[in-house]
Amino acid sequence: MSPELPAAGTRTPRTGAAARTAVAVLLTLGALAYSTWALEILLPTGLSPLRTYVSELAAEDQPYGALFRALDLAAGVLVCAGAVVALARLPLRSGAWGRSRALSLLAVLGWAGIGLFGAATAADSRLPLSCAPTADAACAARERAGLVPTAHAAHAVSSSVAVAGALMGMVLLTVVVRKCRARPAARAGGVLLALVCVELAATVWTLAAVAAFDAGRGTWGLGVAQRTQLLVIAAWLMVMALWLMRSRREAPD
């Protein structure tokens, strides 16, 4: 028998299973699109993955900028769509994630965080950097002097919102999964928790590296830190998608 998440109200098990599958597919596709920065291994971008922002691959003056912006847009739209379907069809009432209203609220907030992450990622693609500050001293100087286009300046805001949304969703939904009783949930919960811990560490490293760069003290492995951050987000999304596909009706401990 196919495992299913329960649906709210009068929704049938088949409807709940279809919604669960749709969310899982959208998250998986979004995670894959979100990981396409790894194409830098094959493309002659001229940017060092050890010290550059991933966003610099999509800068307006970069040879493959249009490609990376399109992939970022696709990733954001797919993940946001997955979160919207989850909010609309899975966890809106007590019982959808067990009998705990508090757990259902965490699920709603968690999916809202994932939706925010997706929307901000899509916005990121429409607010590209105009140049690559870690690879171009003149670009960095213009950035510090506030002489870059509005979209360039706004990119830092949309990127920060994306990371904040991802962290919110990852933490809260990991709590939800770990509170479920079934064995698939217990296994997935441990993996999700490990990924959250790595993500928090990578985020702290990224913030420290950005501060060092802004202070003119080098990049402190900024490229590695941020790429780790993005890779872990994609991995978390895929594990969450797998859990959605495999889990049966769950209840909190």
134 within 8 A of 226, measured Cβ to Cβ: no
Answer whether residue 6 is part of any domain.
Answer: no
**Does residue 224 fall inside a structural domain?**
yes
Nearest-angstrom CA–CA distance, 144 and 242: 43
Angle among Cα 27, 129, 169 to the nearest 5 degrees reads 30
Query: If we measure between CA atoms, which residue out of 106, 136, 68 comes closest to residue 250?
Result: 106
Instruction: Tell me how many domains the chain contains.
Output: 1
For the entire predicted model, the pTM comes to: 0.89
Query: Which pLDDT tens digits describe the chain residue by residue (253 residues)?
Result: 333 443 334 445 566 788 899 999 999 999 999 999 999 999 999 999 999 999 999 999 999 999 999 999 999 999 999 999 999 987 554 344 555 788 888 999 999 999 999 999 999 999 999 999 999 999 999 998 999 999 999 999 999 999 999 999 999 999 998 887 655 666 788 999 999 999 999 999 999 999 999 888 888 999 999 999 999 999 999 999 999 988 744 433 3
Report yes or no on 1 lying in a domain: no
Q: One-letter amino acid identity for 156?
A: A
- Is residue 223 in some structural domain? yes
Backbone angles phi, psi at 202, to 5 degrees: -65, -35
Please check whether residue 251 lies inside any domain of the structure. no
Would residue 2 count as lying in a domain?
no
On whether the CB atoms of residues 88 and 80 are closer than 8 A, the answer is no
Residue 206 near residue 224 (C-beta atoms within 8 A) = no
Parent domain of 108: 13-246
Asked whether residue 108 is domain-assigned, the answer is: yes
| C-alpha to C-alpha distance for 230 and 213, rounded to whole angstroms | 19
